Amino acid sequence: MLRLWLALRTAGETRLAELGQIKKEFQAEEHLLLREELPKLMKRGKVLLLDVRPPIEYQSGHLPGAVSIPSYELENRPDELPKDREIITYCRGEFCLSADESTALLRKHGFKAMRLEGGWPEWAVEGRPTEAGRQK
């Protein structure tokens, strides 16, 4: 089902030029981390992964080691995050604005933050490692 959804989204992107323009308007490329770069940073312990999707989505599957703080709670919970590590946000994919908005909010609060290219769907479909269950 996930592969079908991504294929439909890709087909829409190729047929509707407006989607590319929307993505450019909302995503700040200077604050975008490519998926290929994340494993190296995680291995060095240099980043904190922040899943900003609702808890039920986090519980059904998330990137290894990710912390869950839904985007709608982030404004009230920044003190739970470390200031000494870069924070990488992610959500439902390329067009999910929650990761972009969360990154902007964190940067406003003085955190070093970036948005992960794509999100949970792209990560999972590529066969990269995932975890499921509640946060420890």
131 in a structural domain = no
Give the model's confidence band at 82: pLDDT under 50 very low, under 70 low, under 90 confident, else very high: very high
The 10 Å Cβ neighbour count of residue 57 is: 16
In this prediction, residue 135 carries a pLDDT of 82
53 in a structural domain = yes
121 in a structural domain = yes
Whether the per-residue pLDDT at 69 is higher than 60: the answer is yes
- Mean pLDDT to the nearest integer, 74-95: 93
19 in a structural domain = no
5 in a structural domain = no
Q: Which residue has the higher pLDDT, 119 or 94?
A: 119
In this prediction, residue 95 carries a pLDDT of 72
For residue 111, give its domain range. 27-125
Q: What would the pLDDT profile of 10-45 be if each residue is shown by its tens digit?
A: 666 666 666 666 656 655 566 799 999 999 999 998
What is 34-83 written as a DSSP string? -GGGHHHHHHTT-EEEEE-S-HHHHHH-B-TTPEE--HHHHTT-GGGS-S
Instruction: Enter the pTM of the model.
Output: 0.80
Catalytic residue set: 91
20 in a structural domain = no
CATH number of the domain that residue 79 is part of: 3.40.250.10
Domain count across the chain: 1
Q: Which residue has the higher pLDDT, 85 or 7?
A: 85
37 in a structural domain = yes
- Residue type present at position 8: L
Q: Is 113 helix (H, G, I), strand (E, B) or coil?
A: strand
In this prediction, residue 97 carries a pLDDT of 86
